[in-house]
Amino acid sequence: MAQTLSGTLVETLRARIVSGDIAPGEKLPSEPRLAVEHQVSRTVVREAIARLNLEGLVHTRRGSGSYALTPPAEADDDGAPVARSLTDRLALVEYRLALEAEAAALAAVRRTPAQLAALADRLAALASSDGHPATAMQHDFAFHRLVAEAAGNRFLLEALDRLGPQMIAMPRGRLDRPGDDEAHGGGRFTAVVQEHRAVLDALDAQDPLAAAAAMRVHLTSSRRRLLEESGGDAAH
């Protein structure tokens, strides 16, 4: 029953954020207030907020509260582009190199303290998701989306939204094998986290050249991993 209540609250808050009723950057009502307004327990509220955080619609700052983020653009009728073959997936990485290196450079100049904090929290969530590839993929995409949002260019953000989480080169097979990275000594996942941290450090330093370079290194490494594991285990 609690899960049903949580799901209902998620849908309600998601609709308010997407519609703009709760604007990007606006603080959500407090946990006790939401519990009273929706006649649910605070546990249900916490579960709902956690799900919205995972979806990239909300950023929770410890001791401060939860804030709405810019919602993803709606998908076109023909849906997001799908990269099915290895050739398509390599081409997708090339596209991301052109797109996200510039987004990182702009974000280094334009990011706000709140956006930097959101990125740090998302990186921490990614780092703690070792052994849970599906969750890691969501945090990975959310990090990249936050970089695009910090760039302050709606066309860059819409481009990432159109790609969606599938842009992360994580095959369905690995999503079903949580311990797969252990066979690689955890090095692959550690490298991915370190590459994201390099991007964050450059944004923190407000160094656009370093930010673009860090993003390029990360995506070039993604391409290398994809080629190395092109037998069906390509990983981001």
pLDDT tens track for 157-200: 999 988 887 788 654 334 334 444 444 445 888 999 999 999 99
Query: Among 41-50, 52-61, 99-108, whose mean pLDDT is lowest?
Result: 52-61
Closest of 179, 59, 28 to residue 123, by C-alpha:
59
User: What are the tens digits of pLDDT across the range 126-136?
Assistant: 999 887 777 88
pLDDT band at 6 (very low <50, low <70, confident <90, very high): confident
Instruction: Tell me the Ramachandran region of residue 20: left when phi exceeds 0, alpha when psi lies from -120 to 50, beta otherwise.
Output: left
SS3 27: strand
The token duo for 155 is 């066309």
In this structure, is the dihedral angle defined by the CA atoms of residues 196, 236, 18 and 158, taken in order, positive or negative? positive
The predicted-structure confidence for 79-89, as pLDDT tens digits, reads as follows 555 565 778 88
Residue by residue, DSSP assigns 60-123 as EETTTEEEE-PPPPPPPTT-S----SHHHHHHHHHHHHHHHHHHHHHHHHH--HHHHHHHHHHH
Q: Tell me the C-alpha distance between 132 and 16, whole Å.
A: 30
What is the DSSP code (8-state) at residue 235? -
Residue 55 has pLDDT above 80, yes or no: no
**CA–CA–CA angle 67, 46, 131 (5° rounding):** 95
Q: What is the three-class DSSP state of 59?
A: strand
* C-alpha span between 126 and 193 (Å, rounded): 7
Whether the CB-CB separation of 169 and 226 falls below 8 Å is answered with yes
Banded model confidence at residue 137, pLDDT cuts 50, 70, 90: confident
Q: Which two tokens stand for residue 131?
A: 């052994």
Asked if residue 115 lies in contact with residue 226, where contact means CB atoms within 8 angstroms, the answer is: no
Instruction: Using CA atoms of 131, 57, 79, 192 in order, give the dihedral in degrees to the nearest 10.
Output: -30
